[in-house]
Amino acid sequence: MAVIHDDVFVEEIRNVKKTAFGVAYLILKNTYDCEDAMSAAIVKAYEHRGKLQKRDSFRAWFLRILRNEAYTILRERRKVFETDEISEQPAPFPDTAQNLDLYDALMQISEDQRNALYLKQEGYTTEEIAVTMNIPVGTVKSRIFRAKEALRRILEETDNG
């Protein structure tokens, strides 16, 4: 187990940055909290980079750290604020009717389904998603399938409604 050199670490962070921010946003729904989670995850990953066994596993390893940091922030935020006091930040999507319908539909499915589907759309394999989410591969597949079915149903209802 060799420690990842600084230049390699920075390169890996750059490669996963966009996906990581999206994962954090799906959990936190607030850009400021996402930035905090990203910063904390980068520091924690850097401090523990010696524990990473294979460079090929960096994405999944980092995203797991990030998810844990995001959930920590979410728990802390819930302790401090009442739900109605939290100001929602605008979604990081273009402001078109079609994207707003999709965003609304995504917010109606479970967070676990949203995360699995998002990672799949970002090009992660089901195995990488399983490692990142700490669940079996079969569960990843079923969450992605159920997410697609739910989105299809919700969007059809929106079109017909």
Q: Are 13 and 62 in contact (CB under 8 A)?
A: yes
* pLDDT for residue 1: 53
Given pLDDT bands bounded at 50, 70 and 90, which one contains residue 83?
Answer: very low
* pLDDT for residue 85: 45
| Structure-model confidence comparison of residues 7 and 90, the more confident one | 7
Whole-angstrom CA distances from 37 to 1, 20, 22, 81 are 27, 10, 12, 18
Domain parsing of the chain, residue ranges: 1-90, 93-161
Given pLDDT bands bounded at 50, 70 and 90, which one contains residue 87?
Answer: very low
Would you identify the CATH topology of the domain 93-161? Arc Repressor Mutant, subunit A (1.10.10)
Residue 140 to residue 133: CA distance in whole angstroms: 9
Given pLDDT bands bounded at 50, 70 and 90, which one contains residue 84?
Answer: very low
* pLDDT for residue 94: 47
Res. 112: pLDDT tops 60: yes
* Token representation of residue 77: 């935020």
**Interval 112-137 mean pLDDT:** 90
Percentage of the chain exceeding pLDDT 90: 47
- pTM score, whole prediction: 0.64
Question: What confidence tens digit (pLDDT) does each residue in 21-69 have?
Answer: 999 998 888 899 999 999 999 999 999 998 888 888 899 999 999 999 9
Same fold, 1-90 and 93-161: no
**Interval 90-96 mean pLDDT:** 49
Residue 63 to residue 55: CA distance in whole angstroms: 14
**Interval 3-14 mean pLDDT:** 90
* Token representation of residue 61: 């390893």
Write down the CATH number for the domain with range 1-90: 1.10.1740
Res. 3: pLDDT tops 90: no
